Amino acid sequence: MQQLQDEKSLANILETNQETEQYGLVLSEEDAKSLVAWRAKSLKEQKRVEFSGGITEKLIREFCDSEYIGQDEYVEMIARLQDIFYLYKNEMMDEITDDELLHVMKELFETVCFGDLEYLESTCLDHFARAIRAGYQEFRKTEGHGEGAKFVKVPRFDYDLFMQVLNELVE
């Protein structure tokens, strides 16, 4: 049964190439197999079960037009986004739909995190998850669009910029 589901998921992932090719992003069969295996690992780590094809295809479609994802890091970025997605489905106690979470993730990734997955995972989505757990429901009106940045009040620390300024001061 699992093998049949994985084969279907593999085919669905490869079909996304028709949409993503225009953004310079294409997955090989080996890449798609890697993403299917990564999804299984993520599900196991987060103690989640899926009965449909999974979130991978939706992640690909949601993020393929990002200026922060190029062909060289495409597979790794989608794999990490899967991990983050499943982690925050748990953190938000499934109080948010898949599509709502995808929209929030994409908005934060593009407008607050500027492609930084670590910042997305450790700060931005953490703040949003706290709001969800505290009872925030307004995101339902917009299906998650325009919601994520409302809760990120911590200014981002840019280590590289800090080091550049420090080096200029020392010289």
pLDDT at 6 over 90: no
CA 43 vs CA 5, 90, 113, 165: distances in Å: 14, 11, 25, 42
pLDDT at residue number 1: 47
Which residue is it, tokens 């989640």? 48
Mean pLDDT of 68-93: 96
Radius of gyration of the CA atoms of the chain, in A: 17
pTM of the model: 0.84
pLDDT tens for each residue of 96-121: 999 999 999 999 999 989 999 999 99
pLDDT at residue number 152: 72
Q: What single-letter amino acid sits at 138?
A: E
Tallying the residues shown for the chain, one arrives at 171
pLDDT at residue number 147: 81
Dist. CA 143–CA 104, nearest whole Å: 9
pLDDT at 167 over 90: no
- 3-state SS string over the chain? CHHHHHHHHHHHHHHCHHHHHHHCCCCCHHHHHHHHHHHHHHHHHCCCCCCCCCCHHHHHHHHCCCCCCCHHHHHHHHHHHHHHHHHHHHHCCCCCCHHHHHHHHHHHHHHCCCCCHHHHHHHHHHHHHHHHHCCCCCHHHHCCCCCHHHHCCCCCCCHHHHHHHHHHHHC
pLDDT bucket at 139, cuts 50 / 70 / 90: confident
**Domain spans of the chain, in order of start:** 1-91, 95-171
pLDDT tens for each residue of 59-69: 999 999 999 99
pLDDT at residue number 105: 96
